[in-house]
Structure 1
Amino acid sequence: MSLTYVVTGASRGLGLEFVKQLSAKGHQVFALARHPEQSPGLQQLIDNKSVFGVQADITCEKSIKEATAHVKKNAPEGVDVLINNAGISGDMKLTLDTTPKKVYMQVFETNVCGTMDMTCSLLPVLRMGDKEKTKKILNMSSIIGSIGGMSKPTLPALSVSKAALNMVTRMMANRLSKENFIVIAAHPGWVKTDFGGKNAPVQPKDSVQGLLHVLDHLTSKENGSFIDFQGNKIKW
């Protein structure tokens, strides 16, 4: 069955891989990125029929409204799945002792506030379709945002932002549970991307394949869960 997806941060890395795999399966995909025209990989996939490239800066209210309007216009039956993949890491060389307030705030603004603003803007479009059809939201988190699993401080600004994203994921899952939504936070693994680095053991295609398998098999029991790309539950 063909579904309609929105993927943020779709110009490279995992976001681009989501667009590749979803479009290959025959789904309609709205690929949101700050500069979709600057991504050769994304441009190869855009046909404005099954794959739409949409300019969207999730830290800009005007950009979010315009992106939402574009999606609504071209998806008259609504959106089935939102994959909130867009995010930033901040300066990866900074430690717990050297990370300044400015960096914490920049990363938080994008990873938490931007994700929530984008989600809230798209909720009416997600609600447009068949009320009996389960709608799904995946917020891209990270195991480094797990408080229960934290063993040593690493990437402080990113870790704190992902812990906060996990909280708002759980809150939104509770809020939307009666509307036939399933909302989860997901850990993609240590992936070989610009962020993960060349030593990462997981290929983007394998991470995305696993995450899509998780999405396809979600039930209401998983609403509000923190799950990795292999389907394992993670400590909050």
Structure 2
Amino acid sequence: MSLTYVVTGASRGIGLEFIKQLSSKGHTVVACARAPEKSEGLKQLVDNKKVYAVTLDTVNEASVKSAVEKITEIAGNGVDVLINNAGISGDRKYSSKDSPASEYMSVFETNVVGTSNITQAMLPLLKKSQTRHIINISSNMGSHANTTSGNLAAYRVSKAAENMLTNVLASDLKDDKFVVVSVHPGWVQTDMGGSNAHVTPQQSVQGILAKADTLEVKDNGIFFDYEGKPMDW
């Protein structure tokens, strides 16, 4: 069955890979990014029939409003799945011992507030669908079971907060039969993950979509990895 997806952070990395794999399956995909016109990979996929590009800065209120208006023009009958992939890692040099306030604020704004902004704005379109899936791309670095010392303190804290956002959304939307989940995509070979990462974007997205295809209302509020295995919060 062909579905309509909206994917944020779609200009590169696993976001772009979502567009590739979803479109190859015949789904309609709206690829959202701050500057989609600068992504050669995305431009090659956009045909304005099944794959569309929309400019979106998730932390800018006017941009979110404009993007949702354009998405409504494309998918006025409803959006089946929202994949909140947009995120930043922040400056890798900072640990919990020296991260300045500005680092926490910047990373939190994108990874948590940005996810909340676009999710709230997309709810009317999601409610037009019977599927009503929201997939938040999180990280095992946001798991309270993974508190080993290291850098990227702001990223770790933001992903823990994003996981809580998943939980409260799942609770608040359960009566409307939504399925809201967090996903750890693995350590992926992207600009964020680096070349030493263990998982290719293709492997990560293929695994996430395989699990996503099986999601039911009873799965609302779960946290799993790209292999479909449960993750500790």
TM-score bracket for the superposition, by shorter chain length? over 0.9
CA distance in 2, matches of 1:126, 1:218: 16
C-alpha RMSD over aligned residues: 0.9
Q: How far does residue 108 in structure 1 lie from its aligned partner after superposition?
A: 0.3
CA distance in 2, matches of 1:192, 1:222: 28
Secondary structure at the counterpart of residue 197 of structure 1: coil
Counterpart code for 2:227: Q
CA–CA distance in 1 between the matches of 2:225 and 2:132?
20
Q: Which structure 1 segments of 5+ residues have no match?
A: none
Partner of 1:124: 124
What is the match of residue 166 of structure 1? 163
Structure 1 counterpart of 2:229: 232
Report what 2:55 is aligned to: 55
- Residue of structure 2 equivalent to 1:42: 42
TM-score, normalised to structure 1, is: 0.97
Give 5+ residue unaligned stretches, structure 2: none
Whether the aligned pair in 1 keeps the contact of 2:184 and 2:225 (CA below 8 Å) is yes
Q: Residue in 1 aligned with 2:13? A: 13
**Could you tell me whether the CA contact under 8 Å between 2:81 and 2:131 is conserved in 1?**
no
Task: Say whether the 8 Å CA contact 2:6–2:83 is kept in structure 1.
Answer: yes
* 1:101 CA displacement: 0.3
1:149 and 1:157 mapped to 2: Cα distance? Answer: 14
1:212 matched to 2:209? The reply is yes
Question: 1:35 deviation in Å?
Answer: 0.2
In the TM superposition, residue 153 of structure 1 has moved relative to its aligned partner by 4.0
User: 8 Å contact 2:93–2:151 — kept in the other structure?
Assistant: no
Looking at structure 1, the residues matched to 131 and 81 of structure 2 have their Cα atoms a distance apart, in angstroms, of 9
Q: Is the 8 A contact 1:59 1:114 kept in 2?
A: yes
Instruction: Give the AA of the match of 1:95.
Output: S
Question: What pairs with 1:1-236 in structure 2 (closer than 5 Å)?
Answer: 1-129=1-129, 133-236=130-233
Q: Which moved more, 1:93-102 or 1:155-164?
A: 93-102
Amino acid aligned to 2:133? K
* Structure 1 residue 71 displacement after superposition: 0.6
Number of residue pairs the alignment of both structures matches: 233
Q: What per-residue deviation string (whole Å, max 9, x for no partner) do you get for residues 95-147 of structure 1? A: 21121000000000010001100000000011123xxx221000010000001
CA deviation after TM superposition for structure 1 residue 149, in Å: 2.9
* Residue deviations 1:158-212 (CA, integer Å, cap 9, x gap): 0000000000100000111111210001000000101111111100000000000
TM-aligned CA deviation for residue 221 of structure 1: 2.5
3-state SS of the aligned residue for 1:44? helix
Rounded Cα–Cα distance in structure 2 between residues aligned with 1:69 and 1:38: 22
Any idea what SS the aligned residue of 1:37 has?
helix
Hey, what's the Cα distance between the residues in 2 that align with 1:186 and 1:173? 14
Please report the TM-score for the alignment, with normalisation by the length of structure 2.
0.98
